[in-house]
Amino acid sequence: MRREAVPPAPAELSRALAALGAGAYVVDERGCIIAVNPEAERMLGRASGDLTGYDAHDLLHRDPHGHRLPHSRCSMRQAFHAGRTAQGAPEYFALPDGSVRAVAWLITPYESDGDEAGWTLVIFHPQEAPEEPASPAETPAATLTELERLALLAEATAQLTSTLDTEEMLRRLSHLVVPRLADWVVVDLLSERDEVWRELVVHADGRTLKRHEDLEGPMPPVLAESQWPLSRALRGVASTLTGPEQYHGTPDSGIAVEQRRLFDRTGMHSAAIAPIRGAREVLGALTMGRATDPVAFSAADLPLAEDIARRAGLALDNARLYQRQRKVAETMQNHLLPQMPGVPGLEMTARYLPAPDASQVGGDWYDAFPLSDGATALAIGDVVGHDLEAAAGMAQVRNMLRAYAWAQNEPPSRIVRRLDEAMEHITDVGMATMIFARVESLDDGTWQLTWTNAGHPPPLLITRDGVGRFLEAGHGVALGTGLRTRRPDAQAVLEPGCTLVLYTDGLVEEHGKILDVGLDRLHRHAAASVHRPLSVLADQVLRRVRPADNDDDVALLALRVPA
C-alpha cells in the first residue's frame, strides 16, 4: 500500500481534534489521512505515524468478515465524494491484528485558513451513535447492479493488465467504459517530463466506437493553483463530478479552456473525472461523460470510476516500465550492431528486428568489416537465446571473430575453427550458428565470395534476372558442440547485378511447418524485388517473409554487385 507525502498537521487542528470526546481523523482531498487524535489512535490500535499518509479507505475500511471493501459499497466513500455531511453505522475498521471493529461515523467537510481542504471523520462505538438516521445513500445513475459492477471490475483487471502496449490498453479501456457507463471516454496522460497529452477521445456512435483524433493532442501544463476538476485530478486529488456549467466562468488555466472546448464539441452534460495513479505517481486522468444519456452522474458513481482508473493506472505503470526497459535495451543493441563499411564497387545494407516479446535485444547479429589484406569480411550469426545474456554472448563472439579475422590472413574455415576452440574456454556462450565469408574483387570486374557455414541457414544468391539459388556448400557443424570435425570452405562468383542475402533463422522458421516452406517464401519474395534498390529489397523481405507468429529476433545482411 502506497504512502503519500503529507504536510504536518497544523497545531490548531491537532488541538481541536484532541478536544473532541470521540475518535477523529482528517483526510485531504485525495482521501489520505493528515491528522489523527489520541482517541482514534486508541480505537484503531495504531499510532499516528502508522495512519498519516495512507488512503483511509484502503487502510481501514473492511466488510464484517475483514475483507477489503469495494469503493462502490462504502457509504463513507460516497459521502466523501459528495462533499456533504453524513453519518451512519455500523462500518467496520481493520485493526492491526487482522480483526475488525464496528464503528459509527460522521463525516463533515473541513476547511483551514489556507487553501487546504478536506473532511473530518468522527468515529465512536455504535451504541453511542445519535439516533438521527443517516442520509440515504445515493442511487448510482448507472443501471449496473452490484454483481455487474464486480464483474466489470474483474473484466477491467483482466483486460487492462494483460497487455504492455499503451495504445492497446487505451483501446480496451474505451470498450470497457463506452457505452456501458458513459457515452464518451477521455484519457489525459502525464509524460515523464510532466507534459499533458490528451491520448484518447472516444464516443459511442450507435453500436460502434468512434475516435476523435481532432480533440486529441498536447494540452497546456497543470497549474498547482488551478482548482478546476481536470487540473485537480491530474494533481492526484480525489475524483469529482463536473459539467459544462463549471466552465462557463472565467477559466483559471489553459487546461480549463481546453475542457470548455471539449464540452462544447461533445455535448456532454455530465462527467465524472478520476485520477489515474501509478505505484509512485499520478499518471493522468480518466473522464467519463454523458451526452445522449439524460441521467447525470452522481457521487455514488465516483467509486466505480476510481476503481476503473486504478486498474488503468496499474496497467499503464507496467507498460511504461516495460517501454523504459525496451528503450535501454534498444540503445544497447544499437551500440552492439555495427555500421556498414563503404566498399567501392559494392552495395551493402543490414536490418535487425528484435523478438516481439523480448527486451528488444537478442543473440542474432550481422557484421561487415575490412580485412588486413584488402578483402571485406561478412558475417551473420545467431547465439542461442533472445535476451540480454544472448546479446552479451553475441558481442563476445563478434569481437573475437573480428580479432581473429584481422590478425590471421587465413581462409574462413580456419578462422571459424579457431573461434570455436576459443569460445569454450573464454566465453559463456553455449552454442551459436554463423556464416563467415570474405569477398574480394577479381580482375575481370566480378567479385569472389569465399565462405564457411557453421550450422546456419544457407545464403541466397540472386542474379540480376531474378534467378536465385541457395548456397548449400561449405556447411559444417554449429559452434559450441565440442565436435572438432573438418570445416569446409566454398566459393562462388558474384557477377554484376547479383544480390546476396544472409539472414538468421527467425526470418524463415514458422511454427508447425518445415524449414523449406520459409526458404521458398524467402526465395520468391527476394527474387521478385531484385530489381529494386537494395534497401527496399531488405525492407520488403522482412515485411513479407517474416512469419506472423515469429517469436525470435531476425538479422539480415544484403550485398549487391552493381550492374
Three-class SS string for 19-46? HCCCEEEEEECCCEEEEECHHHHHHHCC
Q: Report residue 92 as a C-alpha cell.
A: 467496520
Residues 536-556 pLDDT 10s: 999 999 999 998 877 788 999
pLDDT at 524 over 90: yes
Identify the band that residue 147 occupies on the pLDDT scale cut at 50, 70 and 90.
Answer: low
Q: How far is CA 121 from the centre of its chain?
A: 38
pLDDT at residue 379, as a whole number: 96
Percent of the chain with pLDDT over 70: 92
Q: Domains in the chain, please, with CATH?
A: 11-128 (3.30.450.20), 146-325 (3.30.450.40), 337-560 (3.60.40.10)
314's enclosing H/E stretch is helix 302-336
Please tell me the predicted confidence (pLDDT) of residue 128: 56
pLDDT value for 107: 86
Helix (H, G, I), strand (E, B) or coil at 440: strand
pLDDT band of residue 113 (cuts 50, 70, 90) is: low
C-alpha distances in Å from residue 439, one per residue of 357, 434, 449, 473: 36, 16, 5, 16
Share of the chain above pLDDT 90, in %: 49
The three grid cell numbers given for residue 391, joined into one nine-digit string: 546479446
The alpha helices in 337-462, defined as continuous H runs, are 388-407, 412-426
Q: pLDDT band for 563, please (50, 70, 90 cuts).
A: confident
Confidence of residue 450 (pLDDT cuts 50, 70, 90): very high
Q: Over 60: is that where the pLDDT of 142 sits?
A: no
Question: For 186-218, what is each residue's pLDDT tens digit?
Answer: 999 998 788 999 999 999 987 789 999 999 999
Beta-carbon-side half-sphere exposure of residue 246 (alpha carbons within 13 Å): 24
On whether the CB atoms of residues 161 and 314 are closer than 8 A, the answer is yes
Residue type, 444: D
pLDDT at 133: 42
Q: What value does the mean pLDDT take over residues 332-358?
A: 80
- The cell numbers describing 487, all together, are 570445416
pLDDT band at 357, cuts 50/70/90? low
Q: Is the pLDDT of residue 7 over 80?
A: yes
In order of 61, 222, 365, 402, 445, the CA distances from 371 in angstroms are: 73, 58, 19, 9, 20
Instruction: Out of 254-258, 285-289, 384-388, 397-401, pick the least confident.
Output: 384-388
Q: What is the pLDDT of residue 134?
A: 42
pLDDT at 245 over 60: yes
The sign of the dihedral angle between the CA atoms of 311, 313, 315, 318 is negative
Please compute the mean of the pLDDT values over residues 58-67 and round it to a whole number: 90
Whole-angstrom Cα distance, residue 211 to residue 201? 6
Is the model's pLDDT at 520 over the cut of 90?
yes
384 close to 363: Cβ distance less than 8 angstroms: yes
Q: Does the pLDDT value for residue 508 go beyond 80? A: yes
Say yes or no to pLDDT of 132 above 80: no
Q: What is the largest CA-CA distance in the chain?
A: 108
DSSP 329-344: HHHHHHHHSPPPPP-T
Average pLDDT, whole number, for the chain?
86
Between these two residues, 112 and 192, which has the higher pLDDT value?
192
Rounded mean pLDDT of 63-78? 83
Question: pLDDT tier at 385 (50, 70, 90 boundaries)?
Answer: low
pLDDT of residue 85: 78
The band of 351, judged by pLDDT with boundaries at 50, 70 and 90, is very high
